[in-house]
Amino acid sequence: MKDVAREAGVSVTTVDRAINGRATVRPDTLKKIAEAARRVGYHGIGTFQDRLDQTLPALKFGIVLLKQSQEFYRNFAREIELAVAARPDIRGEAIVRFSSSQSPAEFAEILLELGETCDVIAASAVNDQKLDRVVQDLKSRGVPVFSLLNDFAQGIRRSYVGLNNMKVGRVAAWLITKTVHEPGKLAIFVGGNRWHGHDLREVGFRSFVREANSGFSVLDTLVNLETRKLTYEATLELLDRHPDLKGLYVAGGGMEGAIAALRERHSEPQVALVVNELTAESRAALGDGYAIMVIETPLSGLCRDLVDMMVETQGRADDGVAGQYFLDPVLHLPEIV
């Protein structure tokens, strides 16, 4: 105890009170003692930590993600749980819910359920007026909502956190048009008409191709509902209808279907494929040349920054300014994956 007291800059009596709970010790002093106990390897560190935890504010984080079957969203859930657990200044709990569909009604139900018990919510959800009303209701009850990856409830939610989707689309078009030397047709998949982020990626993709004026043309946009099966079938049909297809960008989920179709149809890579998010399947596609780039969301950094922003909302009045927080994507190429 003398070593702990010396390291913490407090008296031995104060350390004794902290261990045995004979008198109230201020939270900042408890924290100082706990940190000192860790540094000197004191065997009673568990006692300090238990008492310190009881002085910290409890905070419940509601998180809404998409299909739990997809590796990307399982990784997302794990990273948000790690980010919450890493905060030393709160007793945080991450309550993660997965939507099984793109139905606004399902998203609304999950948001309202989380709003009953959570202090702050972050969600990856579709754009729909029903969700605007739900987010407004939560806001009026003092439960701020953040939009993740796709910016919904604009002007109502606290902030958008994710990539700059317009730039993501332009990056995909830049690489395809710079690496494919023979002009031809390009195609793009989006998850659905309610994904504002996908719309922006499509706009960025098309605008770059148009500005580049390099002989490429972009076909009508295809909707795949972020499913492997639809993407697989539509990619095979694309290859049949357009023998001069040179490039393909999957702006959302379902990339596994495109990878499978290209492998099935071509024994050697012939179409430049760009996808989002590094998973086992997209990594393998990079390795064997069936994908030329993976644009990855830096989940670990995003989750740390998101939790920081969510914590900052507590005890602070909403200033009415809806923000945007962009992270830089991580670009993976075949030679450096």
The tens place of each residue's pLDDT in the chain, 337 residues long, gives: 899 889 989 998 888 887 776 667 777 787 788 788 888 888 766 666 666 666 678 999 999 999 899 899 999 999 999 999 998 788 899 999 999 999 999 999 999 999 999 999 999 999 999 999 999 999 999 999 999 999 999 999 999 999 999 999 999 999 999 999 899 999 999 999 899 999 999 999 999 999 998 899 999 999 999 999 999 999 999 999 999 999 999 999 999 999 999 999 999 999 999 999 999 999 999 999 999 999 999 999 999 999 999 999 987 777 666 789 999 999 999 976 5
Angle CA 289–165–252, to nearest 5? 50
Residue 188's CB is within 10 A of a number of other CB atoms, namely 24
CA atoms within 13 A on the CB side of 87: 27
Please list, in sequence order, all residues whose beta carbon lies within 8 angstroms of the beta carbon of residue 299, skipping any fewer than 6 positions away.
Answer: 75, 76, 79
Looking at residue 329, the DSSP 8-state letter turns out to be P
Q: Are 281 and 255 in contact (CB under 8 A)?
A: yes
Tell me phi and psi for residue 336, to 5 degrees.
Answer: -125, 10
CA atoms within 13 A on the CB side of 220: 4
Q: What token pair was written down for 233?
A: 């079938």
SS3 327: strand
Q: Are 293 and 333 in contact (CB under 8 A)?
A: yes
187 CB burial (10 A radius; 0-12, 13-18, 19+): buried
Residues of the chain with CATH 3.40.50.2300: 58-162+299-326, 165-296
Output the pLDDT for position 53: 65
Q: What token pair was written down for 291?
A: 């994908």
Q: Are 84 and 307 in contact (CB under 8 A)?
A: yes
Q: What is the DSSP string of 270-307?
A: -SEEEEES--HHHHHHHHHTS-SEEEE--HHHHHHHHH
Q: What's the length of the chain?
A: 337
Q: Which residue is listed with tokens 């989940």?
A: 299
Output the pLDDT for position 6: 92
Class of domain 58-162+299-326: alpha beta
Please list, in sequence order, all residues whose beta carbon lies within 8 angstroms of the beta carbon of residue 330, skipping any fewer than 6 positions away.
Answer: 278, 295, 296, 297, 298
How far from the centroid of its chain's Cα atoms is residue 282's Cα? 17
- Burial pattern 290-322, b for ≥16 Cβ within 10 A else e, equals bbbbbbbbebeebbbebbebbbebeeeeeeeeb
Output the pLDDT for position 66: 93
Output the pLDDT for position 122: 98
Output the pLDDT for position 89: 81
The amino acid at 33: I
Distance CA 45, CA 38 (A): 6
Output the pLDDT for position 320: 67
Nearest to 72 by CA among 332, 295, 310, 328: 295
Assign a CATH topology to domain 2-55: 434 Repressor (Amino-terminal Domain) (1.10.260)
Output the pLDDT for position 26: 77
The amino acid at 43: H
Distance CA 120, CA 145 (A): 6
Residues of the chain with CATH 1.10.260: 2-55
Class of domain 165-296: alpha beta
